[in-house]
Chains A and B, each alone.
Chain A
Amino acid sequence: MADEPIIKVQAVHKWYGNFHALKGISMDVKKGEVIVIFGPSGSGKSTFIRMLNRLEDHQRGRIVVDGIEMSHDVRNIEQIRSETGMVFQQFNLFPHLTVMQNIILAPIQVRKWTKQKAEEVAMQLLERVGIPEQAKKFPGQLSGGQQQRVAIARSLAMQPKIMLFDEPTSALDPEMIKEVLDVMTELAKSGMTILAVTHEMGFARAVADRMFFFDNGEIVEQGSPEQIFNSPKEDRTKLFLSQILRH
């Protein structure tokens, strides 16, 4: 029971028009695992992670998240979405709401918490991501790193079982990347199941349990960080790693 995977993906395909974006992806993720997905742009890694909460639909294959089969059934989709948090490259905070309102909106509307309970949880989360003093500000008044940390707190407020990160540091100025990675590292160590699309190899080496290299809509190689960094089997993996690790 404990070894039953929380995410099961079996031979999933996706086409955009005639373009075959994902070609038979399979992946099982156990509870508490930290998965890092990397690969060149256009390799399908973002499409894949966005399928796990159905921001994209899949056309063939099966996806089961926390025992719920992903289908056209809206109730299933909404249930899966409330169990998975997602953090985007562009933060996607709601600019017309304060930081606090951004965080408490979904718990109040979807989980039906009282405002008081939601605000308490939100404050705890803001402390966890290190910016409790920003609660009353609007997103536009924060730096990129702070905004991304608010976005993480907003996802965590729904108390998800799985966190999806879609290139969370790619839109950040270099000096702000660390503050976001620190939060993600802390989250990984707390036992959260995490799937992250990222090229932050330091983060991958430190906390990832398994890494997946995507290219051309396929999983080219997978393994532990030691395997991937020290003895990659595939030439494509070697080439890509040499390109991103060189600078």
Chain B
Amino acid sequence: MASVEPVLPPMSERSNILRWARKNLFGSWYDAILTILGAWIAYWALSGLLTWVFTVAEWKVIVVNMRLLMIGQYPLEQAWRLWVWLALLVFLSGNSLAIWGRGSRYAIALLLLPVVLAFVFPFGDEPRKWLVILTVTGLAGWGIGRTSPEVLKRSVIAGWVISLPIIILLTRGLSESETGFLPDVRTNLWGGLLLTFLLTVVGIMFSFPIGVLLALGRRSELPIIRWFSVGYIELVRGVPLISILFMMSLMLPLFLPDGWTVDRVIRAMVAITLFSAAYLAENVRGGLQAIPKGQYEAAEALGLSGAQTMIFIILPQALRLIIPILVGQFIAVFKDTSLVAIVGLLDLLGMGKTVLAQPEFLGLQREVYVFISLIFWVLSYGMSYLSQQLEARLGVGIR
């Protein structure tokens, strides 16, 4: 007679807090000492920080200079253009969260963030109005995305692709005359987080394809292409970004014919792009090397050409493998943009320094730098979080 095996439930991972604490925090007298010491250090650091944040720090410097830190000298009467593209981005984010994200509660919390910010912090009326609009467009995008995710996928991707030209167009303006539709806003008025954001996005968007081409070039069988790629990559990687920025801003005018000028912001964008491309190329090459030879052989045996093999078989796998490295590189680009302050551009950090140079805000370095760091951290962590989501999403079906 067959005996019936009792079906054992999986061992419960849960236990009450006290048992958890006894096991993990007070397992031995040695652990106990470490726990108490750690708790004391944490309390000491945290209480100091919180006391400073809530009683000592003079956040007025941030409130007064919020506009400078966010958009620099960008004319206030044209600032609606920036809000419009921000709304577009939030709308697309809402779409994307609905289509690809997991957990609607989390998505809604994220989309409600602008409204929360608007009422917790002392913004003026105009920004408050726009923050509410942002939330509305975000939720609208989320709602629309929910209705037919499969149908919308392509248009949302297309939306992201065309968003960069739209952003640049809206920020830069169309007509030369001051009275025309979307009057020109010169790049020397761009500043603060706006400038940091644009430098980063342009740097990433342009360095990525160049980096992929350089990586492929380095593996090319044609010697000229290979040597050019190797030479470029090794030359640029051997030089600090700051010296490329200096080259671009000081040396370039010497080489250009008289009367030719290249916009300072564009020069910085080119420098960042060229610099980042060299690093990306090596990252992509690492991914390419990880693809087994059998994949090339299978593609060739099916009659696919070399270019088709790359586009459909090798690159999709290689890029997927290196998502964490790519995002690391993108975060590095984001933070490296703060170096443009040295060549006289007023990005977020440069603007912070300018603010501190005003006599009435002397001695408030801590407030300004903590605020700037916080912005850098929030955005970097956001990128990192997105990449983890992307990895989880694309992990399906991988070996």
A residues contacting B by CB (< 8 A) are: 53, 55, 78, 81-82, 84-86, 88, 90, 92-96, 98, 105-106, 109-110, 137-141, 151, 154-155, 158
| Residues A139 and B303 in contact in the complex (CB < 8 Å), given A88-B297, A96-B317, A109-B312 | no
Is B302 a contact of A88 with CB atoms below 8 Å? Answer: no
Q: Kindly list chain B residues whose C-beta atoms are within 8 Å of the C-beta of A94.
A: 295, 298-299, 313, 317
Is A138 a contact of B396 with CB atoms below 8 Å? Answer: yes
Is B302 a contact of A78 with CB atoms below 8 Å? Answer: no
Chain A min CB distance to B293 (Å): 9
Chain A residue nearest to B396 (CB atoms) is A138
The answer to whether B392 has its CB under 8 Å from any CB of chain A is no
Chain A residue nearest to B294 (CB atoms) is A92
A213 to B298, CA, bound (A): 26
Chain A min CB distance to B290 (Å): 12
* A78, A95, A98, A110 — most chain B CB neighbours (10 Å): A95
Is B298 a contact of A92 with CB atoms below 8 Å? Answer: yes
Is B302 a contact of A158 with CB atoms below 8 Å? Answer: yes
Chain B min CB distance to A8 (Å): 20
Is A140 a contact of B399 with CB atoms below 8 Å? Answer: yes
Is A86 a contact of B301 with CB atoms below 8 Å? Answer: yes
Query: In chain B, residues 12-53, which have Cβ atoms closer than 8 Å to a Cβ of chain A?
Result: none
Q: Return the contact of B297 from the options A85, A92, A96 (Cβ within 8 A).
A: A92
Q: Kindly list chain B residues whose C-beta atoms are within 8 Å of the C-beta of A82.
A: 302-303
Is A96 a contact of B397 with CB atoms below 8 Å? Answer: yes
Chain A min CB distance to B395 (Å): 10
Chain B min CB distance to A67 (Å): 17
A38 to B28, CA, bound (A): 65
Q: Kindly list chain A residues whose C-beta atoms are within 8 Å of the C-beta of B317.
A: 94-96
* B302, B308, B317 — most chain A CB neighbours (10 Å): B302
Q: Kindly list chain B residues whose C-beta atoms are within 8 Å of the C-beta of A140.
A: 397-399
Chain B residue nearest to A93 (CB atoms) is B298
One digit per residue, 1 when the CB lies within 8 angstroms of any chain A CB and 0 when it does not, for chain B 256-299 equals 00000000000000000000000000000000000010110111
Q: Kindly list chain B residues whose C-beta atoms are within 8 Å of the C-beta of A109.
A: 304, 308, 312
Is B294 a contact of A78 with CB atoms below 8 Å? Answer: no
How many interface contacts (CB-CB < 8 Å) are there between A and B?
73
- 28 A-B residue contacts at CB 8 Å? A55-B300, A78-B303, A78-B305, A81-B300, A81-B301, A84-B301, A85-B301, A86-B298, A88-B297, A88-B298, A92-B298, A94-B299, A95-B398, A96-B317, A96-B397, A98-B397, A105-B304, A105-B312, A109-B308, A110-B302, A110-B304, A137-B397, A138-B398, A139-B397, A139-B399, A140-B399, A141-B397, A154-B302
The answer to whether B122 has its CB under 8 Å from any CB of chain A is no
Chain A residue nearest to B319 (CB atoms) is A96
A78 to B301, CA, bound (A): 9
Q: Kindly list chain B residues whose C-beta atoms are within 8 Å of the C-beta of A138.
A: 396-398
Q: Kindly list chain B residues whose C-beta atoms are within 8 Å of the C-beta of A86.
A: 298, 301
Chain B min CB distance to A103 (Å): 10
The answer to whether B316 has its CB under 8 Å from any CB of chain A is yes
The answer to whether B320 has its CB under 8 Å from any CB of chain A is yes
A155 to B295, CA, bound (A): 14
Chain B min CB distance to A142 (Å): 10
Is B303 a contact of A110 with CB atoms below 8 Å? Answer: yes
Chain B residue nearest to A53 (CB atoms) is B301
Q: Kindly list chain B residues whose C-beta atoms are within 8 Å of the C-beta of A155.
A: 301-302
Chain A min CB distance to B78 (Å): 45
A220 to B274, CA, bound (A): 60
Chain A min CB distance to B221 (Å): 12
Is A106 a contact of B316 with CB atoms below 8 Å? Answer: no
Chain B min CB distance to A121 (Å): 14
Query: In chain B, residues 142-186, which have Cβ atoms closer than 8 Å to a Cβ of chain A?
Result: none
Q: Kindly list chain A residues whose C-beta atoms are within 8 Å of the C-beta of B320.
A: 96
Q: Kindly list chain A residues whose C-beta atoms are within 8 Å of the C-beta of B308.
A: 109-110
Q: Kindly list chain B residues whose C-beta atoms are within 8 Å of the C-beta of A93.
A: 298
Q: Kindly list chain A residues whose C-beta atoms are within 8 Å of the C-beta of B305.
A: 78
Q: Kindly list chain A residues whose C-beta atoms are within 8 Å of the C-beta of B298.
A: 86, 88, 92-94, 151
Q: Kindly list chain B residues whose C-beta atoms are within 8 Å of the C-beta of A154.
A: 302
Chain B min CB distance to A210 (Å): 24
One digit per residue, 1 when the CB lies within 8 angstroms of any chain A CB and 0 when it does not, for chain B 296-340 equals 011111111100100011001100100000000000000000000
Is A96 a contact of B300 with CB atoms below 8 Å? Answer: no
| Residues A92 and B295 in contact in the complex (CB < 8 Å), given A78-B305, A109-B308, A110-B303 | yes
Is B294 a contact of A81 with CB atoms below 8 Å? Answer: no
A151 to B300, CA, bound (A): 14
Chain A residue nearest to B308 (CB atoms) is A109
- List 5 tightest A-B contacts by C-beta distance, closest first: A138-B397, A82-B303, A92-B298, A106-B302, A86-B301
Q: Kindly list chain A residues whose C-beta atoms are within 8 Å of the C-beta of B312.
A: 105, 109
18 further interface pairs, Cβ-Cβ under 8 Å (given A78-B305, A158-B303): A53-B301, A55-B297, A78-B303, A81-B300, A81-B302, A81-B303, A85-B301, A86-B301, A92-B295, A92-B298, A93-B298, A94-B295, A94-B298, A94-B317, A95-B399, A96-B397, A109-B308, A138-B397
